[in-house]
Amino acid sequence: MEATEKHTPPRYSSLETPLVSGSLFSTMHWLHWLIILLSLVLTLTAWKITSNQIAEKAASSYQRETTKIIDLVLERMQRYEDALWASAAYINSIGGDISFEEWKVYAEAIGIEKKYPGINGIGIIHYLASEDLQSYLAEQRKTRSKYAVHPPHDKTEYWPISYIIPLAGNEKAVGLDMAHESNRHSAARLARDSGSAQITGPIELVQDEQHTPGFLFFAPFYGSHQIPQDTQERRERFVGLVYAPFVVRNLVDGVLSRDFRNVTFSIHDAEEEIFNENAIGESEYDPNPLFQSSASIELYGRTWTFQFRSSKEFKSDTSSGQPTTILIGGITVDVLLLVLFLLISRNSRRNALQARKLLQAQQKIEQANEELTHFNYRTSHDLVAPLKTIRGYVDLAQYELKDQNTAGISDCLSRIEKQAQRLEKLVEDLLDLCRIDNQNVAADIVDPNEIFDFVSSTLQSLWQEKDVTVSLENKLGSPFRSQPVRIRQILENLVSNGIKYSDPEKLTRWVKVTFVRVNKDWIRIEVADNGIGIPGEDREKIFEMFFRAGNNSEFGSGLGNYLVKKHVAALHGKIDYRSSDEGTCFTVDIPAGSRE
């Protein structure tokens, strides 16, 4: 028992503990959490692995496509080169030069358009020193009277296109002099000097009406099967070039149809853009591509830089819903697991609570049984003892009657009366005890003064006999609402004890009752005396049924404090006391007005 300054009545008794207190999740077993955690880790791992696999697959697919594009361009250029070298070899095999007619037959025979899509034709460029120009023109005009070298320039050498097959579409190219501008001229000279195939930088082909970037592809021939060893010799023996013009757009279209690839690209020759599918308006252009990269290749004396971007189609082809499905599926399973475990935990908690309730009920019953046995024994004993004493005094009184000893008879009768009073008190207490649990006490206004007057008058003969002053200090501003009957019985027991256990050795003896308000919800009733006090060793027991401390020789049932405790509990209050040689003070705290 303890009195605390902070009065916060419990909201539930131990048996009324709500089914799920605190967080719903706190009821779950750690093993459940472990399973959910593992399942979550498994889901995330599966999701991560699948995502990685798909990303890797996409990366390698992209890598494959870009490599394929470069390979195809190289392969196609290789085929062009092969055609040029084959032509040069043919020229060498027929004596080191070729006439227009011969070339026409040859070029038509190799079927350029079918076998070499992308190139606009195949032709011959002759190298002429300035002094050879007139004889060259005269020779050409034998078969083509209008043949002319153009445009005019101030160089001392000429590199005119002598023939190109097919002629249709290439008319403007016939007679065009490579020396008229540096791009064509320098690539032609490089081919001659190096003895290798070369391409020009980007140019606009005279025959391309769309004016898109194109190139000339040159392979030199020297009039012999062997390419001369050194540059000097190559220059001296140089006859001309087999050449092929091509438009980059046609080269790409012929080689790499858009339908078979999911990567778009642009090509730059040095700084100059020669092909571009990466333009924003292009249908497959992806503003946020999954991949983009660049690669440079050395190509017949030029450096081409490819800028690759994965296309929109690439994104839709490689994106897979699989990881998301795994993630959503896994998380759904985890959530279901969580719900399942929560239900299991809730049920097992409910079962545990039921079991606890049952156990508590069983303990209560056992305790009640024990108390009942004890109660039966004590009541029988306490009822029989005064009856036996009364019978003894009746026998004695009969003897005294025979002896006509009226003083003796009177003594016996007063002793019998005392025993009867004790018996009456005991029976009253027992009746109170029987009623206490079943008492349907109505709440009402409690007036401390009224209750005190009632108690004081009930106990009048006792305090008069013991010469104890009983007083009241009512510090409450106003009456409060509670159960007056219980409060009266509490006060009656505590005050009667204060009087009963007063100290005869003290000059004045008193019992003081104080009513005071602790706060707006709680009232405190103090019953203090300057009596003999309660020995420390009895502290825990004085509220037990039939307990009587060893400090008194007064008559009592040992039920008073037990009754007080029961009343206080019924009012949802608390009781405590402090005691010393100086006296005892009981403190009863009860809710005021908040409970019926």
Q: Point out which residues bind ligand ADP (CB under 6 A).
A: 493, 497-498, 501, 529, 531-534, 542, 547-549, 551-552, 556-562, 584
Alpha-carbon distance of 127 to 404, in angstroms, equals: 180
Alpha-carbon distance of 304 to 299, in angstroms, equals: 7
Name which of 80 and 501 has its Cβ closer to ligand ADP: 501
Contact 462, 496 (CB under 8 A): yes
Name which of 308 and 562 has its Cβ closer to ligand ADP: 562
Q: What's the per-residue H, E or C state across 67-111?
A: HHHHHHHHHHHHHHHHHHHHHHHHHHHCCCCCCHHHHHHHHHHHC
Alpha-carbon distance of 18 to 38, in angstroms, equals: 32
- Smallest gap from Cβ 529 to ligand ADP, in A, equals 5
Name which of 91 and 549 has its Cβ closer to ligand ADP: 549
- Smallest gap from Cβ 398 to ligand ADP, in A, equals 32
Which two three-digit tokens encode residue 153?
């320039």
Name which of 286 and 529 has its Cβ closer to ligand ADP: 529
Pairing of the two strands 302-310 and 263-269 = antiparallel
- Smallest gap from Cβ 521 to ligand ADP, in A, equals 28
- Smallest gap from Cβ 485 to ligand ADP, in A, equals 18
Please tell me the number of Cα atoms within 13 Å of 110 on its side-chain side: 23
- Smallest gap from Cβ 372 to ligand ADP, in A, equals 19
**Nearby residues of 116 by Cβ (< 8 Å), 6 or more positions away:** 79, 80, 83, 122, 244
Pairing of the two strands 272-276 and 292-299 = unpaired
Name which of 107 and 549 has its Cβ closer to ligand ADP: 549
Q: What's the per-residue H, E or C state across 294-311?
A: EEEEEECCEEEEEEEEEC
Which two three-digit tokens encode residue 440?
């349907």
- Smallest gap from Cβ 458 to ligand ADP, in A, equals 15
- Smallest gap from Cβ 378 to ligand ADP, in A, equals 12
* CB burial readout 184-223, b (16+ within 10 A) else e: bbebbbbbbbebbbbbbbbbebebbeeeebbbbbbbbbbe
Through-space distance between the first and last CA atoms of the chain, rounded to whole angstroms: 23
Name which of 280 and 507 has its Cβ closer to ligand ADP: 507
Q: How many CB atoms lie within 10 A of CB 250?
A: 17
- Smallest gap from Cβ 551 to ligand ADP, in A, equals 5
Name which of 201 and 531 has its Cβ closer to ligand ADP: 531
Name which of 1 and 359 has its Cβ closer to ligand ADP: 1
- Smallest gap from Cβ 7 to ligand ADP, in A, equals 24
Name which of 322 and 551 has its Cβ closer to ligand ADP: 551
